[in-house]
Amino acid sequence: MRIVFAGTPEFAVPSLRAAISRGEVVAVYTQPDRPAGRGRELQASPVKLEALKRGIPVLQPETLKTELSRDALRALKPDLMIVVAYGQILPQKILDIPAYGCWNVHASLLPRWRGAAPIQRAIEAGDRETGVCLMRMEKGLDTGPVLLSQKLAIGDEETAGELHDRLAELGAQTLSDGLGLWRAGIRPVAQPQPEDGATYAHKIEKHEAKLDWSQPSPTLANKVRAFHPWPIAEGEVAGERVRIHAAQSLPLAHGAAPGTLLVAGRDGIDIACGEGALRIRSLQRDGGKPVSAADYLNARRDLKTA
């Protein structure tokens, strides 16, 4: 089977390896190199680095909407195109080129959390379960029929980064299962997505990281987990803006105004919320590194004394 793979971030790398193990990956599409880091030097995507390491040709078009892009894909004579977090919406004329269409690995249980940030939005919403879907692509955004799916429980304290890594491996396994069935002559039956339960996972914006202490503490604890490792939740603690790396919700009854520091001790720093309190366990000062609440208090004797 001649496979063309399209993907960009680290999430797609395990799926690329799975595709290589199950077929002939004749080319890899990925986003153009982008400036990154303090020096703003051009940086290749994780998928590009993996493809080059394995000697697979890499294509990096700015867009797939041109006739030139379509001619380049046709020249590869793909049986199947596999798309995993590529970063571009594929036009219908591209979807029509591979002999057996295009498959997509998506990190949610569709139709819940279609879109760009399904992992973060699932945690932010307090979902207890998520998973991956192997989907046959169509023109709509993540609306295609599902070929295979696997579920995964979300840990009580699991961050988006931790869940990302587990879902990346589960996605690769699901893709491998689908390709294995195909090679055995068994075609997975595509199940249309139900109309009910569809939600959209909007892209994460940096401004969302600022915590609003008037919200309930479970909501804020979910945001801390969802926005780790990026953009990292932030809030004000006794007059100082800090980034919050780990926290938990406490069902405390209090009469304090939201944002009030209730308790500061080795176990954490408790901040009054609209409902309950948020116990901050790990935080970061401007220009510093993430530290435990105990270490932070050692640097702020005024809070420790209070």
CATH number at residue 281: 3.10.25.10
Tens of pLDDT along 53-79? 999 999 999 999 999 999 999 999 999
Point out the domain boundary residue: 201, 226, 243. Answer: 201
Domain end position, chosen among 201, 217, 243: 201
Residue 278, pLDDT > 90, answer: yes
Q: Are residues 237 and 159 in the same domain?
A: no
305 pLDDT exceeds 70?
A: no
Residue 109 annotated in ligand binding = yes
For the chain, how many structural domains are there in total?
Answer: 2
Q: Which residues contact 116 (CB under 8 A, 6 or more apart)?
A: 201, 202, 203, 204
Residue type (1 letter), 206: K
One domain for residues 225 and 144: no
**What length is written for the chain?**
306
179 is in an annotated binding site: no
**CB neighbours of 217 closer than 8 A, spacing ≥ 6?**
249, 250, 251, 273, 275, 276, 277, 278
Task: Verify that 249 and 161 share a domain, yes or no.
Answer: no
Question: Tens digit of pLDDT for each residue in 74-100?
Answer: 999 999 999 999 999 999 999 999 999
| pTM: predicted TM-score of the whole model, two decimal places | 0.94
Q: Is 44 a residue whose pLDDT tops 60? A: yes
Domain that holds residue 117: 2-201
Last residue of a domain, one of 170, 201, 232: 201
- Is residue 214 annotated as involved in ligand binding? no
* pLDDT score recorded for residue 304: 58
- Kindly tell me if the per-residue pLDDT of 242 is higher than 90: yes
Distance CA 17, CA 218 (A): 38
Q: Is 110 annotated as a binding residue?
A: yes
- High-pLDDT (> 70) share of the chain, %: 99
Whether residues 166 and 17 fall in one domain:
yes
